[in-house]
A and B are shown apart, each in its own frame.
Chain A
Amino acid sequence: MEEQRLYEKWFDDENCFKVAISKQLDINIEILKKLFQDAGDIVQKEFYLRRIQGSVRIYVVYVDGLVDRTVIEDGILKPLLYEWRLTDGKDLMESILHRETHTVDIKKEKSFDKTLLGILKGDTAIFIQGYDQTLMVSTKKYPLRSISENDTEGGLRGPRDSFNESFRFSTALIRRRIRDPKLKVEQGTIGQRSRTDYGIMYIKDLADPALVENIKSKLNAYDIDGIFDSGMAEHLMEDNWHSIFPLFQATTRPDKVASGILEGRVAVVFDNSPEVVLAPCNFNMLLQASDDYYNRWAVGTFARIIRYLAAFLAITLPGFYIAVTVFHSEILPAKLLYAIASARSMVTFPIVVEMLLMEFLFELLREAGIRLPGPLGNTIGIVGGLIVGQSAVEAGIVSTIVVIVVALSAIASFAIPNEEFVSVYRLIKFFIIITSAFLGLYGFILGLLVVAIHLSELQSFGVPYMMPAVAGDKDKAWMKGDFVLRVPIKKMGKRPFWVNEKNQERLKGKNNESGK
């Protein structure tokens, strides 16, 4: 109860610490001790600095595990306690700030709240007797996995690095690709308790200021306890929350983000999230892969045609199979139809049930494969795919053709380069299965029509989701060259229409040759 009273006294409604730093070190120490009571990972220690004028007390606080101890011991404590012993210490804070420590990243902090936030982020705070400010030394060293090869958005050509959970690493990977001083990283925190760092990255003269402001206002529109992944923030920022389609492009590829930023889009990087989100985003972007641009244009175009076809098959194949076999078998060539009919004659369930069973089995395997550790996940695939599938066919639960249809549709969905998008396809596939099961081809086409109507109303930050298929005007259809057809880089001379009008051109030839 006493703690609760103290918390109410110290924290305001937005969970900010409202007490000021006291010049009396003992008061600060008392507050810190009470605040971090039972927090075993907080290291707090008092030191005495011997100077000509006498001893001065300092109090060092940091979180064990989030800091680089070498920096604290060699860069701060060793010089303060030994190297500068018995020197002039008139204005100790200024002296420490400018002379006595072996680190560049040190600054004064007036706010107790920001000091606490810094400590919790991995900085080391130094409270000094007689000063109502602290010195904050950047000593962050998080337990992180290293930058590893991209395993979710792989490609045959192009860089293989991917973001990890470190906010700073992510911004660095982007900065490394765009060495333009106009690349901005506007930082902030989101989540009242998690205080998660985020950074809005854009190029000042390319991104539409209204877009940047829009994203900022959406990030600050809610008070939430914590944000643990970009996905959570993404859902908070969406206008069409009821839509199943992602309105941000989430990617783990730094080259994709850098390329997006150069198109005038805005990237939002979140701490603890290996996925950076880009806005605006559209349907076409989610079907593009980075190596489309690294391969020759014809190869890139071919890959895209395959991907678009795959996307279409992924949602329509099971529904079309049901529509044709139950309602309109006239469409099928005779021998194929006989093969289907003979395979079906051994199965006990109706086609729709059979299809739903198989799809359910596949979803089950997929879910189990994700949850189990790597090698076990592979085993599940083999057990499920080969053994259960084979047994189901032999037991007359499903027919071989349905196994082929479900497998084809699954393989087609794997060709889609964005995992979030694949999940949407899975949902639509079930919707089309149901409409086709009820009304055959009529239901099949009505199902697709409903999806198309929904897609045509969607917008991501003011940009129609189905761009460039709904470009409206030719001048806005720049992406025609970057749609199913990927024109040669030489011909991709213009940026998208949402970029500042003055900076539309992105490719200029030096010898009287210009990109169009």
Chain B
Amino acid sequence: MNLENKMISNRQSFRMGILENITLGMVVIPYATLNLAGRWHFVAFLIGLLLGAIYMAVIYYLSRGISDYIGKDKAKVIPFGRIVSLLYTLRFVLRGGVIMFFFGKTVQEFLLQSFNLWTIIIIFALVCCYGASRDIEKRGRMLELLFPWMIIPIIFVAVFSISSIDLGELYSGLMGENYDMLHEGAGVLDVVRAGYVAFLITSSTELMLFTLPHQRENNWRHELKLGLWILISIFLAYVFIIGILGGHWVASDSQAALNVMEAAFIPGEILERADYPVLAFWIIGVFAVISGYMFYAKEALKVVAKIKKQGESKVSLVVVTISVILMSWVWSLDEVSVYLAQYMLWADVAISIGIPVVFLLKKDGKRILKRLALMLVMVSTTFVMWGCGSEEFKPLTNQQESVEDRDYVTNLTIQGDEITFTIADIKKYLSDATGDYETKEEKVKAIGLKDALDKYYEDKGRQLDLGHLSGITFEKVEKEQLREYVLEMSNLPSLGKSVNVTIELEDKKDKKEISLRQLIKDVYSGESFS
């Protein structure tokens, strides 16, 4: 009685827009611009934002033009032809698949190293499928509800990590002063290309083409506000990432931006690390994007198969979900993903504008679907079984022990090829009520940190935990060896980057103290340790 079917409010539309459009941009754009444009990254970033703003304006214009044909009157998202709808289905599945694959890799690396990638992807796809099964009105409500779940933790982290921003580094970083060695010789074309790539990352704003016609009140001020907030959020994230991590690190690792959350200092030390919970809540944003693509792919597929009944609509969603899972696997294949990337780079956005424009200029099989769903289930099962054996999908580690089966390293000393772990003696901690604990030392000979962790696990049957290190000491190590260790440490999410490091190079007598974060930044920027 109180519902206006198939319509969403401006607030719901705003929240949907923010969740669907900032989640990826905040994390990926800094890497893309720094990696491709080097010292001119900020120019590329601004070009990307400008292109993104223009794209949003075009999408807004197009959505108004075709609003009578989408949602309101006919309750169909894509009414202009089954072929076009099929194209949209494929495009959205492709986009959903690529995000799903890279998201799965990120979760595997940061949260679930001992898990097979398939497990992560399939479970997430099922949740997205559940989220995409609602109509637009319930989807609006759902994202309106979820909006603070992601935004509030991010705001908290931003507030608590503000003290970690190095203003000098930020200024020189934005000006590109220290980034000469990054992508040396980047020309104008490279900068434009980097800007274009940055824009492509924001191109999920295309979803507004289908959302805006469902908005109860269409007014340009609202859309302007939405666009501005998307751009401002991405800009602020950019500033935080460059200011805290520095450009060299971000440019070298596509997932480095996620380390920015680790810099947050939680008052009272209730939590040692804020990045894990925030990363978990960031998942909600990814859910919004992927479930969005799945939702619109489902709607498009319904037009393709002329589906009206609810039961058949569910089948179309199953088809879309399986297709997205399969597509994420396809993206892992180098030989195919090269072509897909080219398509995404040069054709996809053009199509997203081209089809509605052509439509504006013109302006004037269900059993098969079930069989298709069945076939897809069989094909996907085969691929999943195959994928389980693929290196790309294997767990990163087989170590996942419970708290009592770990040894907690409090200090790490690296001396040549010998690594000494200073470990908290938990058993003595239990018997002593003072709250202090004694330590013991374990030495391992290894070629690297990960090798040392594996050897210790094989030898003792206990997992070494580096999450609570209070210090790292490099004693008499060579520069190259130090660099390799630091690079390895930068890729260990469990290792806090605020740990103090003491360095004593082989050819030096004096010691240097520095935080691991700064050391990583220095290593990536090629700074010498003299």
Contact = CB atoms under 8 A, between A and B. Distances in A.
Interface of A: 208, 210-211, 214, 325-335, 337-347, 350-351, 439-446, 448-450, 452-453, 455-457, 459, 461-464, 466, 469-474, 497-498
A325 B281 CA distance: 19
Contacts of A337: 403, 408, 468
A334 B1 CA distance: 55
Given A210-B1, A330-B272, A332-B271, A441 B402 contact: no
A463 B403 contact: no
A494 B467 CA distance: 53
B228 interface: no
B277 interface: yes
Nearest to A477: B11
Most buried by B among A343, A440, A459: A440
A192 to B, nearest CB: 30
B477 to A, nearest CB: 25
A462 B1 CA distance: 5
Interface string B131-175: 100100010111011100100000000000000000000000000
Nearest to A401: B403
B130 A442 contact: no
Nearest to A350: B402
Contacts of A450: 127, 130
Contact of A330 (B127, B142, B270, B276): B276
A322 B15 CA distance: 32
Contacts of B134: 453, 456-457
B349 interface: no
A104 B435 CA distance: 80
B280 interface: yes
Contact of B130 (A329, A439, A453, A459): A453
Nearest to B112: A442
23 contacts: A210-B1, A214-B1, A330-B467, A330-B468, A331-B273, A332-B272, A333-B271, A342-B426, A343-B430, A344-B402, A344-B404, A345-B427, A350-B402, A445-B280, A446-B283, A449-B127, A449-B287, A452-B142, A452-B149, A453-B130, A456-B142, A466-B141, A473-B11
A249 to B, nearest CB: 17
Contacts of A333: 269-272
B13 to A, nearest CB: 10
Given A330-B272, A347-B404, A439-B119, 14 more contacts: A325-B403, A328-B111, A333-B269, A337-B403, A338-B429, A341-B406, A342-B427, A441-B277, A442-B120, A448-B149, A452-B142, A452-B146, A456-B142, A472-B11
A342 B425 CA distance: 9
Contact of A325 (B146, B287, B402, B435): B402
A442 B283 contact: yes
Contacts, number: 166
Contacts of B2: 462-463, 497-498
A341 B403 contact: yes
B75 to A, nearest CB: 18
Contact of B276 (A345, A439, A441): A441
A229 B313 CA distance: 39
A472 B8 contact: yes
Contact of A472 (B141, B281, B404): B141
Nearest to A336: B272
Contacts of B11: 471-474
B141 A439 contact: no
Interface string B372-415: 00000000000000000000000000001011101010100000
A331 B272 contact: yes
Contacts of B216: 473
A61 B93 CA distance: 75
Contact of B138 (A329, A345, A456, A473): A456
B150 to A, nearest CB: 10
Nearest to B124: A446
Nearest to B269: A333
Contact of A342 (B12, B123, B124, B429): B429
Given A210-B1, A450-B127, A450-B130, A457 B142 contact: yes
Contact of A470 (B10, B123, B145, B269): B145
A444 B277 CA distance: 10
A26 B409 CA distance: 98
B198 to A, nearest CB: 28
Nearest to A322: B402
Contact of A439 (B112, B270, B287, B427): B112
Given A342-B430, A462-B2, A453 B142 contact: yes
A444 B107 CA distance: 13
Contacts of B406: 329, 341
Given A345-B426, A472-B11, A473-B10, A326 B403 contact: yes
A330 B145 contact: no
A114 B269 CA distance: 72
Nearest to B143: A456
Contacts of B12: 470, 472
Contacts of B107: 442
Contacts of A214: 1
Nearest to A442: B111
Nearest to A445: B280
